[in-house]
Structures are given as structure tokens and as C-alpha cells.
Amino acid sequence: MELILKYFPDLTDLQKAQFVQLQELYENWNLKINVVSRKDIDELYLRHVIHSLGIAKIQPFLAGSKILDVGTGGGFPGIPLAILFPEVQFHLVDSIGKKIMVVDEVVSGLQLQNVKATNARVETVSGKYDFIVSRAVAQMETFVHWVNGKIAKKSLHERKNGILYLKGGDLAEELKFYPKATVFPLADYFEEDFFETKSVVHLPLKYRG
């Protein structure tokens, strides 16, 4: 929790309580359904919560905006972001039913009112979103293909609507066909070694009616 407050000092009491509760919820659910690797559960806040919240450092979401989390697994990055932005609507999607069941349990445990979770392949999901977030799901080319047509026409934020993807390592090859992509290194925001090679990639996407 100290780690979260180090980087996000302005949390309400409710948000602090929800972040604290995450550890217990994931520890319990992970015993039944493995959504976080055994090693990572001890470092839940660093490797999952703060990493997810890296997106918030790059793009604070405005009230009323809509965010799609593709391949959310056990709820990352969607759940930490939904705690941080209670006035933003989050749609968490995963093709594995058991993972969505864990997400539903965590959402109801935290009493989050701003999260909807759907068990589906994202290609079959309709709806328009300001931003589409993700971590560790697919290469950019495949991902862009999946989410085409899911971007809202009107931009509420100064930054253009599009993808905000948590990526690691050297992205030159993966992004060579995307000159409009911007890479934001998370080491500029977080000092822990874990973030040295991590970044958020913003790729603006056009509205397609």
C-alpha cells in the first residue's frame, strides 16, 4: 500500500481500502483459479497494481469516458484503473470464462460500480470506447485488427482516442508500421527496477462508423 501512496498520494479512504482489499481477494481466488503467477502474487502491488496504474500516469481518464480492457485475465490493467477512476466506465473482456469469473468476484468484493466484465473474444464485442487498454495479449498488428471499429468518434481527452498498451522490451520491430505510435517509458514515472524496460504505447486510432 505504501508503494501505491508513493505514486498516487491523493486517494480517498474508499480507494485506499479497495487497494488494500485486492491482496486478500487475489490471494484467495488465486488458490482456486490461477490468474496471477505464484511468484507474482507476493509482488502483486508492484508487478500488477502499479504496473496497471502506469497507464494513469500517461493518461488520466476523464469522468464519463469509456475504456475497454482487452484480454484482462484476472483484471489487469482494468481493475486497478477502475479503482483509481470511479467515474469512468470500464469494460473488461477475456475469452476464458474462469478468468472472468474471478474478475466478477473481485468486482463484487470491492463493490465497484463502474466495471462490466464479459466472457468473449474481443473481436465479437461491439461498442465504442475512448481508449482501449491491454497488457500481454497480442502483438500490435493483431491487436489493431481486433479493435478496429471500437473507437468513439468524439475525443473527450486532449490525447487522441486509441490504444494504450503496456509493453516491455525493445519495441522498434513491433511498432515499425505504426509511425503515429508514441512510447512512454514507465521508468520516467516509477523508480523501481521492474519498470526499467516497461512502457505504455499510445496508438491513435481513427473512428470507423
Ligand X SMILES: C[S@@+](CC[C@H](N)C(=O)[O-])C[C@H]1O[C@@H](n2cnc3c(N)ncnc32)[C@H](O)[C@@H]1O
User: Does 192 count as an annotated binding residue?
Assistant: no
The residue (of 54 and 71) whose beta carbon lies closer to ligand X is 71
Choose the binding region for ligand X from 89-97, 102-110, 176-184, 189-197 (rule: CB under 6 A).
89-97
CB of 66 closer than 8 Å to CB of 130: yes
User: Given candidates 81, 82, 93, 164, which one binds ligand X under the rule CB under 6 A?
Assistant: 93
Is 54 near ligand X (CB under 6 A)? no
Is 72 near ligand X (CB under 6 A)? yes
User: Given candidates 8, 26, 29, 76, which one binds ligand X under the rule CB under 6 A?
Assistant: 76
User: Given candidates 73, 103, 107, 205, which one binds ligand X under the rule CB under 6 A?
Assistant: 73
User: Given candidates 66, 94, 115, 205, which one binds ligand X under the rule CB under 6 A?
Assistant: 94
Classify 111 as helix, strand or coil.
Answer: coil
User: Does 123 count as an annotated binding residue?
Assistant: yes
Burial class (CB in 10 A: 0-12, 13-18, 19+), 59: buried
Positions in 112-141 near ligand X (CB under 6 A): 121-123, 135-137
Beta strand pairing call for 131-135 and 115-119: unpaired
Cα–Cα dist 92/146, whole Å: 15
User: Does 20 count as an annotated binding residue?
Assistant: no
Cα–Cα dist 27/189, whole Å: 28
Cis preceding-peptide flag for 9 (omega within 30 of 0): no
User: Does 135 count as an annotated binding residue?
Assistant: yes
Residue the block writes with cell 490468474: 35
Residue ranges of the binding site for S-adenosyl-L-methionine: 71, 76, 122-123, 135
